Amino acid sequence: MGLVWLALQRFYGTFTTFYRSLLYIAGTHSYNEDVMGMSTYYLRSGFMASNKAVSAARKSSIVWLLLAGLVLIGGLALTILYIGPKYIGMLGAPKVLSSSDVTDAQGLPIYNVQVAGEEIIDDLYYYEYTVNGIRTSMEYFGALWLGKRFLLVRQFGEIDTSVLTYTGTLRELESDERSEVYAGLLAEVPADQQELLLPIILDATDSPTKFENLALAALALGTVGFGLYGVYRGITHLANPNKHPFLKSLARLGDVDDVVDRIEKERVLGEEKIGRLTLTRSWVIDEKGNNFRAMRAEDIIWIYKHAQRSRYGTNYSVRIYDGHGEKLFVGAKNQDQADEMGMAIAKKAPWALLGFDKAIEDAYNKNRGELIAAVEKRKRQPAQS
């Protein structure tokens, strides 16, 4: 166990160092600008601005990588410290323990042990498990006499007094077993005889196929698998930000690097910010923290304000749809800001349909071509004075 803990500590230290290196990598772009010595304001500002899109993808990848790494560490810890030893201990022939071995047992739990006694007493305690009022299983308790002391036994089905050998996991008492079964039995015997009952139990219900064990094993394997996938995905997106969903979604408009360059050149020329919304001459951008999504104003076909009510209040957002099937849901801090966002976007795309309408939603989802044609017709109409 000490070696396992040391290994986990070293893994954590390595992971922390790796994470700090990733943070450094994500922040090297402005440093590289200075080293390259670019002198014109346009180029310097353009490259710095482009970091907003690429850095958002990289920072998002770092966060994903960190979370996936923590999940992986948790899954490995669960597997190494609990699931692995348990299943390994349950394999093979059971280990036969004498009465003295049981009495002096250390390092519990001990899996897959076999204990034989001289007599077993049905102590009349049992657990009944039900689902929707239907009994699913019964587990009974007995006291196995080992010659000098009693050992509690837990098994499926009623206690058969002719059976004196049991196989299972020798472990400490669980809290309900201690308070209900063990304490109940002690209350029934004189104080000078209570030490005859060992404060441990042989759990014959514990097996590799027990639902709880299978569920934990599935959880551990699933956690490790998800962690590995997350680490792989985070490293892949960090190495090539264009594969990140933020930037990959821009591929609908052409080469990702070219699209990002066009966006950021416009940002250098001037941008308007309303909350997490950024507007340039041709682009509508949703960015906050590690999020970055962009949409061409000329592609917008539908805009409306959305209000989500809950017991904690009302959350407002502006929902923007384009002809490519892309959607931006831009959160606002209040209704006024949502209105301001909506009006600003509508000025960029005056041809877009405004306000929520179930008919528009159905057309967008089921017959988008006709909806786009109708919007294009509006776009070609001369502006009303």
- The residues near 166 (Cβ < 8 Å, ≥ 6 apart) are 114, 115, 116, 144, 153, 155, 202, 204
Residue 313 three-state SS? strand
Q: Output the CA–CA distances (angstroms, integers) from residue 236 to 266, 292, 301, in the order listed.
A: 29, 18, 34
Judge whether 282 and 322 are in contact, CB under 8 Å.
no
Is the pTM higher than 0.85? The answer reads no
- Predicted confidence at residue 16, as pLDDT, reads 52
CATH number (2.30.29.30, 3.90.550.10, 1.10.10.10, 2.40.50.100) of 271-385 reads 2.30.29.30
Q: Which candidate, 26, 72, 65, places its Cα nearest to that of 231? A: 65
Judge whether 123 and 141 are in contact, CB under 8 Å.
yes
User: How many helices, marked H, and strands, marked E, lie in the chain?
Assistant: 13, 15
Domains of the chain, residue spans: 1-91+208-258, 95-207, 271-385
- Spans in the chain with pLDDT lower than 50: 1, 3-4, 7, 14, 17, 19-50, 385
Residue 362 backbone dihedrals phi, psi, to 5 degrees: -65, -40
How far is residue 237's CA from residue 243's CA, in Å, rounded to a whole number? 6
DSSP 164: -
- Predicted confidence at residue 210, as pLDDT, reads 85
How far is residue 334's CA from residue 342's CA, in Å, rounded to a whole number? 12
Q: Which candidate, 50, 36, 57, 31, places its Cα nearest to that of 246? A: 57
pLDDT tens for residues 32-83? 333 333 333 333 333 333 457 777 888 888 888 999 999 999 999 999 988 8
Q: Give all strands of the β-sheet with 150-156 in edge-to-edge order.
A: 95-97, 110-116, 165-172, 197-203, 150-156, 134-145, 119-131
Fold of the domain spanning 95-207: OB fold (Dihydrolipoamide Acetyltransferase, E2P) (2.40.50)
pLDDT tens for residues 324-369? 999 999 999 999 999 999 999 999 999 999 999 999 999 999 999 9
Which tokens go with 333? 């801090």
- Predicted confidence at residue 260, as pLDDT, reads 86
Judge whether 140 and 107 are in contact, CB under 8 Å.
no
- Predicted confidence at residue 315, as pLDDT, reads 94
- Predicted confidence at residue 13, as pLDDT, reads 54
Q: Containing H/E element for 152?
A: strand 150-156
Cβ burial of 176 (10 Å; 0-12, 13-18, 19+) is exposed
- Predicted confidence at residue 10, as pLDDT, reads 52
